[in-house]
Amino acid sequence: MAAWPHDLCEKLQRVVKLNAFMGANEEFNSLKTAVLKSTPSELAAQARHAGLVWEFLIGFAGKKAFYRSHVVLVVKALMAAAGGWPEAYSGNAALRLQAAALHEELQAVLGSDGLPEQPASASVAGAGLSAAIGGIRSPGAAGSAAKNGKPVVWPEWSTLEAIVRMDRFMSANDEFANLRAAVLAADPVQLASQVAHAGMLWMFLIGFAERKSFYRSHVAEVANALRLDAGWSSGLEAIWPDVEKRVKALPGNLPAAFGCEGCENKEEEEEKAPSPDAKGKPSSDKSEASVQKVEDLAREVSVTGNTEVARPNEKSLDERLSAMLGGDHEDSQEPAKVVAEQGLPQSLLQDPITSSQSGSWEEAAPAVTGGAAAPVPLSGLPDVLKTANPFLQRAKEQEATQPLISHYLRIHALELLIGAKQRGETTPEADALLFSTFSEAEAKKASLDLTDGPSQMEAFALRSFDSAVANDVSGLPVNKLPVQLYVASLFVDALAQFHTGILPPHLLKISQYAKGRALHIRECLQRGVEPSPPAPPEPLPAPPRMQSPARPDTAPTAAPVPAPAPAASTAFPVGPIAPVAPAAAPAVADPPAVPSTAAVPQAVAAPSLIPPAVIPVLRPEFAGLTRSKKLAEARKKSDLAVSALESDDTVHARAHILAALSLIEGLT
C-alpha cells in the first residue's frame, strides 16, 4: 500500500479552515480510501494528523447525512487503529461536544453517548464552552442546548445564499436537511437569534419547494415552524410582493404553509400521489428521501447535456453513485422492508433470455437443451421491466465471479427504472423492483473498490464483444451465438452510465452490430437455413505511425476466445430488441457491417513503419502464454490504450500500446 496522498492533509486542513464541508466529497473519498487500505503500521504513522482528521470527519458527518454509512466505516477503522487515533478524539472535549449532535449510529461507533462529563462545579464554565463550540461549529449559531438537549447546528448561510443566487436547488438536498434539523431543534430564542437571515431563507425555501415536490411535507413543516416567530413572519411579509405568485403556484398545502390561506392547489394535489402522512399509509419520510435520492440522479443525468460525446467522467460518476448509493441506509429501509415482506411477483424475476415471448422465433427454434421448463410469456409486463430485467439477470450471473461488473449492470438497470419513473411510465411493480435493486446495490457497494471501475467495466464489455465475434468467425455452432452476441450487446449498453446516459457513436455501433448479427442468426435458425458468413467489424484505426496494411497473401485468422458464461438456455429474447420483419424472398439479408473494436487478428504491422525506439520485444511475463491468450491480452491492452487516448492520458496509452505490440510480436 502506498503512503497517503502527500497533499491529503493539506486539503483536509483547507476544508476545515474554510468550513467548506458541503463541497468536500472528493476529500472525504480520498481519506476513506487511504484509511481503509492502509496497513496498521501505515495508519499508526499518520497518527500525528489525528486531530485534523477527526475534526474533518466530525464536520463532514454533520453536513453530509447521506454519507453516514461511509463515515461509520472510516471511524470504525480509526477507533481500532494504534498510535493514538482513539485518544486524539476522546481527549478533545470540543470534538466530543460537536459529535453529540450527530446521528445515534455515529455516536455509537465514536463511543459518545452525549456531552463530555463535567463536574457540577464546572457547570457555568461548561455552558461557556458549549457556546464557544457552537460558534466554532457554525458562524452565528446559538450554542445553547436545543429542545432535544443537543446543540443546534445552523447551516452555512453563505451557502444557502449562493444556492438562491445561482438557482442550484436541484443539488441542495443536504443543505435543506441541515436547515430542517436546525429549525425543528431550535427553541424560540434560538430561532429569533437567526432572524437576520429571514429574507434569504424564505427565498431558499420557496425555490426548493418549486423543484423538490417530494420534499413537500418537510418544507411545509419548516415553514410552519418559522412562521410561529414574529420576526420570521415579518421577514416573509417583506418579500411577499415578489414571491406571491410563486407561492400560490406551489402544490398541495404548501401555499398555506407559507401563509397564503385558501390557496391550496387542490387540482394538483389530487393528481399527485397521496401524502406520506395519509390515513392508512405508513409514514414514508424514509421512502420519500430514497425516491428523492434516486430521482435526483436521473435529473442530474438529464440536465448534464449531450451536446458532445465525452470520455467517461469518473469523478462525475462517483458523485452520482454517492448520491444514490452512498446515502443513508435508513432512508431506503422502509420500501426495502415492504418488498422483503410482500415479495416481488415471480414474473419480475424471469429472464428474457430464458423466458420467451410471443413470436415466431421461439416457435421455430430447435430445442437445444432437453428437459427445459416451458417458457413463461412476458408480453403482459410493462416495457420498463422488459428493458431492465436482462441487465439484472446478467448482474445476478456475474455476482459470484465479477462483483464489480455485477454492480455496474445493476446501476444501469436502476437508471433505466429511474428514467421510466421520470417519464411517468412506471408501475407499482417497477417501483418495487427499483427499491429492492437500490437496497441491494447499496448493500454490496461497500465491499467494492470502484477506483478504476469504469475502465474495468468497459474493458470487460469489449472483451465480451470481441469473444462473441471471434467465435462467430471461427465457426462456433450457430445455436450458441445469438445468446453470446446479445449478452455482449447488454454489457456494451451498460457503458452508457459512464457517458451521461447515451452511448458514444463507436460503442453504439458495437451494440447495434451485436444485436443485428444475433437477430440474423436467430432468423436463420427459424427458417432452417445457414446464416450468411459474418462480416466482422473492422478495428478502430491505429495511430498513424503504427498502422500498416495487411499482407495480401495472408488471410485473417481467428481463434475462439472464451466468453462470459451465457444463460442456461439459448432461447433468445425479442422484447428488448425489435424483430426484423420477414422478407418476401426466403433468403435472409446479411446484417450491415459496422465499424467497431472487433477481435479479428490482423497481420502484424510492418516493422519498417515503427520507429526504432519503440520496436517491441516480447516481455518475460508474456513468454509462457499461448497464442490465443496473447491475442486476447493484446486486445485488452489495445482497448485500454484507446480509452486512455480518449481521456488525453498519453502516458498510459503509450504503455498499453507497447504492451500490445510486445504480445503480438512474433505471431506472424
Instruction: For residue range 567-594, list pLDDT tens digits in order.
Output: 444 344 444 444 444 444 444 445 545 4
Q: Angle at CA 622, nearest 5°, toward 620 and 627?
A: 140
- Whether residue 367 is predicted with pLDDT greater than 60 in this model: the reply is no
Instruction: Confirm if 665 and 618 have CB atoms less than 8 A apart.
Output: yes
Instruction: For residue range 461-514, list pLDDT tens digits in order.
Output: 999 998 888 888 877 667 788 888 899 999 999 999 988 778 888 888 889 889
Residue 457 pLDDT class (50, 70, 90 cuts): very high
Instruction: Confirm if 101 and 150 have CB atoms less than 8 A apart.
Output: yes
Higher pLDDT, 230 or 392: 392
Report the pLDDT value the prediction gives residue 462, as an integer from 0 to 100.
Answer: 92
Distance CA 155, CA 200 (A): 13
- Whether residue 146 is predicted with pLDDT greater than 70 in this model: the reply is no
Report the pLDDT value the prediction gives residue 2, as an integer from 0 to 100.
Answer: 54
Distance CA 300, CA 171 (A): 9
Q: State the distance between the two ends of the chain, measured CA to CA, in whole angstroms.
A: 40
Long-range contact pairs involving 462-465 (C-beta distance under 8 Å, separation at least 24): 462/492, 462/510, 462/597, 462/635, 462/639, 463/561, 463/632, 463/635, 463/636, 463/639, 464/488, 464/491, 464/492, 464/563, 464/564, 465/489, 465/491, 465/492, 465/510, 465/514, 465/596, 465/597, 465/598, 465/599
Residue 342 pLDDT class (50, 70, 90 cuts): very low
The structure's pTM equals 0.35
Higher pLDDT, 364 or 518: 518
Instruction: For residue range 589-629, list pLDDT tens digits in order.
Output: 455 454 444 444 444 443 433 334 444 555 565 667 777 77
- pLDDT more than 70, % of the chain: 61
For residues 288-313, average pLDDT: 39
Residue 265 pLDDT class (50, 70, 90 cuts): low
Instruction: For residue range 151-203, list pLDDT tens digits in order.
Output: 778 888 888 888 888 888 877 888 888 899 889 888 888 888 888 888 899 99
Handedness of CA 468, 469, 471, 476 (dihedral sign): positive
For residues 547-561, average pLDDT: 40
CA dihedral 601, 604, 605, 610 (to 10 degrees): 120
Distance CA 496, CA 391 (A): 13
For residues 391-395, average pLDDT: 93
Q: Compute how many other C-beta atoms are within 10 angstroms of the C-beta atom of residue 220.
A: 21
Long-range contact pairs involving 473-481 (C-beta distance under 8 Å, separation at least 24): 473/534, 473/536, 473/558, 473/600, 474/558, 474/559, 474/560, 476/560, 478/521, 478/524, 478/525, 478/531, 479/366, 479/368, 479/525, 479/570, 480/566, 480/570, 481/517, 481/518, 481/521
Residue 303 pLDDT class (50, 70, 90 cuts): very low
